[in-house]
Structure 1
Amino acid sequence: MSDFDKLHRFLFTQANVRGELVRLDESLKHIVHSYEYPVQIQRLLGQLAAATSLLTATLKFKGEIALQIQSKGPVSYAVINATHEQTFRGVARWDESLETLPEAFDELLTEAVLVMTITPDEGERYQGIVALDKPTLAECLEEYFAQSEQLATRVHLMTDLQDENNARAAGMLLQVLPTDASATDITQATGFDHIATLTETLTEKEMFSLSVEDILYRLYHQEEVEVYPAKAVSFACTCSKERSAEALRNIDKAELLSIVKEDGDIKMNCQYCHAEYRFDSIDIEAIHSGNAPSPDTNQ
């Protein structure tokens, strides 16, 4: 059985360090192959999806997390939305007038920020902004944890795009468990730097060809590591006809009926999964009278 599309959590029992490893395969294809994305966009979305999965695993509550890139560069927008159940979806927008896109992360995105939004099912919504001013997304996330949570963290993000029909991405996160000590004291006391150095020896070839068990043994066979049961990761879209109807509720009914009269119906397409929802005059009347349309009349 493949251990792709699974999140693996582990703990160094003789050190105050935890780890996560995720590898995406089928779940990623629904995102990177939903449009004719250039390989540079596929790489960015793959890394962003892996990073989101890793961060979702740190949540201690039920809810959603979104990592959204906003940029004035060739890529203007990229987002991955995920839930605590390790389901996610994503999309990107770029300047399609460009014949080629730069390969470097910091050239693909200029004057860019990463907006991290955490929305628990219960409790207050949290939003943080991370400056994307380092050479890689992984380094930007490490800086975020160092500054906002004061936790020593290492992030590794990799992609395998050699097979144009089989895009894969992977991510690995190491983090000191929270204590009252300073970050410097923690890394020295826990051996975090030693574990981080071992992790840096992992190659992309090993990440995508070895089993997770072999990866952990290859890196940490001299350490005591407790591995927790893996959690499945999958693509899932939260769109629905009811949600589309709610958006139409905020538009003047006469304007909507005019569109229906001219076009026959109103079509709304999901940018994530491309599902199409259609609304006729009866639907519009129902929406503005407070009655939602039937969810099984999508076409």
Structure 2
Amino acid sequence: MQDTEQDADTQVDVPVFDQIQRFLFDATNVRGEIVALDKAYAEVLDRHSYPQAISRQLGEMLAAAALLTETIKLDGTLTLEVRGNGVVRQLMAESNPGGELRAIARLSDEAVLPTDEASLMELIGQGQIVITLDPRDGKRYQGIVAIDQDNLAGCLESYFSQSEQLPTRLWLMADGHRAGGVMLQQLPNDASNQDPDAWERVTHLAETLKAEELLTLDQQDVLHRLYHEETVRIFDPKALRFGCTCSRERLGAALHSIQAEELRQIVADQGELSTQCHFCHTRYSFSAAEIESIIEDPDAGSPVVH
């Protein structure tokens, strides 16, 4: 579908949540994206029992992953990973061009549950954010930034600043039920930019955005409230949903990296090897014969199950 331009205050019969929309300001060098998540976010949380503070952080992670994927137009998988030495050891969210999202959190073995309002730094402690771009064709790329801000948006803004990419601002919000985000970027200046003050003005207006607005209103209503005095072009929304990339083939390939003796011992003790996807909780079982096939040939890890 080609992009169709719409007025910021035009009502469109589209779902309010689980979508992302691009927009730009006419006669300026500023573009943006707005994302809203409901069911896709809920499906992540329904598979786990996370404290409220972690649920909120995962919502922000999902919104950020969707925004970054749409911004760079990656034909592949984007992984946003937060690693640290605090109560939470890892937060991870993945997104792909098909609009599929998934996320997970891992707590330390002796974790003391955080307060509901705990910040990213309070949860993670000392750590870093790793952004991995894994295209279908081409080389894998990783960017790393230290966790030096209390929130994910601030850390990602530092990443863009350090990597000398386009000036970028992010606003990420989640409440354990819905999640959303806004991303603004300043493009290189050219003759088409007739408003040199636009960047400062539209980012200042975005600072007034309230969580209640972003998490409850239609995306076009949010943009109209922020930018009713600007000329905004809004493009067709793109649907988002929960989706997991686990499969017997991928797990079989992963099992092939384990020592053969260890795999055989598990089968001897349990009669089979059973494992579960951490993201979606789908369980996969491999018989003794299937494990032997995997040991000999990792591509044999996907037998037909009747």
Verify same fold: TM over 0.5: yes
Deviations 1:145-177 (A, max 9, x none): 12213422210011123xxxxx21101001111
Contact 2:290–2:303 (8 Å) recurs in 1: no
Q: 1:48 and 1:172 mapped to 2: Cα distance? A: 13
Matches of 1:125 and 1:229 in 2, distance apart?
A: 30
- Aligned match of 1:126: 141
Q: How many residues align?
A: 289
Separation in 2, partners of 1:35, 1:296: 29
1:297 is aligned, of 281, 294, 305, to 305
CA distance change for structure 1 residues 129 and 169 in 2, over 3 Å: closer, same or farther? same
Give 1:231's aligned residue: 238
What displacement does 1:120 show? 1.2
The alpha carbon displacement at 1:134 in A equals 1.2
Measure, in 1, the Cα distance between the counterparts of 2:94 and 2:123.
Answer: 21
Structure 1 runs (4+) deviating above 4 angstroms are 293-296
The alpha carbon displacement at 1:295 in A equals: 5.1
TM-score (norm 1): 0.89
TM-score by length of 2: 0.87
2: CA distance, partners of 1:288 / 1:136: 44
Residues 110-159 of structure 1 show CA distances to partners (whole Å, capped at 9, x for unaligned) of 11110111111111111111111112211111121122134222100111
Partner AA of 1:118 in structure 2: L
* RMSD, aligned CA: 2.2
Gaps (5+ residues) in structure 1?
162-166
Matched, 1:60 2:68: no
| Structure 1 equivalent of residue 155 of structure 2 | 140
By how many angstroms is 1:250 displaced?
2.8
Contact 2:16–2:217 (Cα < 8 Å) also in 1: no
User: 1:75 touches 1:109 (CA, 8 Å); kept in 2?
Assistant: yes
How many Å apart are 1:53 and its aligned residue?
0.7
Q: Which residue of 1 aligns with 2:209?
A: 202
Deviations 1:41-95 (A, max 9, x none): 1011111111111101112341111111111111111111211222121111123
The verdict on how the C-alpha distance between 1:60 and 1:105 changes in structure 2, with shifts beyond 3 A counting, is closer
Aligned residue type for 2:305: T
| Structure 2 residues not aligned, in runs of 5+ | 1-13
Higher relative contact order (CA 8 A, sep 6+): 2
Aligned-pair distance for 1:99? 4.2
In the aligned structure 2, how far is the partner of 1:78 from the partner of 1:178? 33
Match of 1:51 in 2: 64
Identity of aligned residues (%): 40
Whole-Å Cα distance in 1 between the matches of residues 113 and 104 of structure 2?
19
